[in-house]
Amino acid sequence: MDRLRGEPSYRPCMMLKDIHRDYEVELNYNKVWKGKELAMHDIHGVEEGAYDRLRWYCSAIKETNPGSFVECEIDHYSNNFKLLFICFNACATGFINGGRPLVFLDDTHIKNKYKGCILVVVAKDANDDLFTLAYLVVDVENDDNWGWFCFQLKSALLSYPTMEMVKRLSPSKENALAKTYAESRSLKLRKACGWSFEVVDGDKSFAVDLSAMTCSCRA
């Protein structure tokens, strides 16, 4: 049990070898696998219970971090989990006040027995470190989920008008971004030197100095 707390990737096949070496007992793989499952449930609780507590978790986020964007959808017919979107107000505020106007979209797959996919958007801060903005847990990566994710992200960052997207070239992400930002104003950002940038808006360009908080558009 103690080893599983610190090493959850401890595999049943390794357990078989360690038990035989330490106790000279022969067990079959299925018994060891089942024993690990029961031990993990004792440590972390059952996964079904964790999903059931998501609604409480969303309420707790809104209460402890006011202004956060949180959406948890449940299938009304089966009462099963559908998706979860979280953008903490602290993250949005940090990005708006000090993040670079560039965000990166990516995804990763959930490999437990319920499967699923996590869509995530990150940015870079002034120290060039990754800065998490928001994430969405869904059943699968597709156009609809990427579109919904981008729409929620846009709503959370309405006060940040100049933003550029960088993403892996997958059809789902391309379609979602094209649909969500089709009517958005398109601005290009070019770094000059230090904290000075050139912002290009169509046939017009402006010089922005972030250290002095000035812009030639206000001259």
Full domain range(s) for residue 152: 50-185
Which residues on neighbouring strands pair with residue 104, listed in sequence order?
122, 166
Q: State how far the Cα of 85 lies from the Cα of 147, in Å rounded to an integer.
A: 13
Whether 73 and 144 share a structural domain: yes
Let me know whether 203 and 166 are in one domain: no
Dihedrals phi, psi of 52, to nearest 5 degrees: -65, -25
Domain check: are 162 and 55 in the same one? yes
Looking at every residue in the chain, the average pLDDT score rounds to: 79
Greater model confidence, 210 or 43? 43
Give the per-residue pLDDT at 174. 53
The DSSP call for residue 168 is -
Whether 199 and 119 map to the same domain: the answer is no
212 and 113, same domain (yes or no): no
Backbone angles phi, psi at 47, to 5 degrees: -65, -35
> Does residue 26 sit in the same domain as residue 84?
no
Same domain, 203 and 172: no
Tell me the pLDDT tens digit for each residue of 106-146.
899 988 778 899 999 998 887 888 899 999 999 888 888 88
Tens of pLDDT along 63-82? 999 989 999 988 888 878 88
26 against 178, higher pLDDT: 26
Shared domain for 82 and 158, answered yes or no, is yes
Give the distance, in angstroms, between the CA of residue 146 and the centroid of all CA atoms in the same chain: 12
Average pLDDT in the 146-151 region?
86
Q: CA-CA distances (angstroms) from residue 125 to 69, 107, 146, 149, 183?
A: 21, 20, 24, 22, 27
Number of domains, the chain: 3
Residue 193 pLDDT level (bands cut at 50, 70, 90): low
Question: Within this chain, do residues 177 and 76 fall inside the same structural domain, yes or no?
Answer: yes
Structure-token pair, residue 60: 């707790």
Q: Are residues 60 and 134 in the same domain?
A: yes
Closest CA to 31 of 41, 23, 39: 39
Beta bridge partners of 107: 119
The helix, strand and coil proportions of the chain, stated in percent and rounded to the nearest 5, come to: 40, 30, 30
211 band by pLDDT with thresholds 50, 70 and 90 = low
Same domain assignment for residues 29 and 121? no
Rounded CA separation 96/82 (Å): 29
* Residue 95 in this model has a pLDDT that exceeds 60: yes
Residue 87 to residue 135: CA distance in whole angstroms: 7
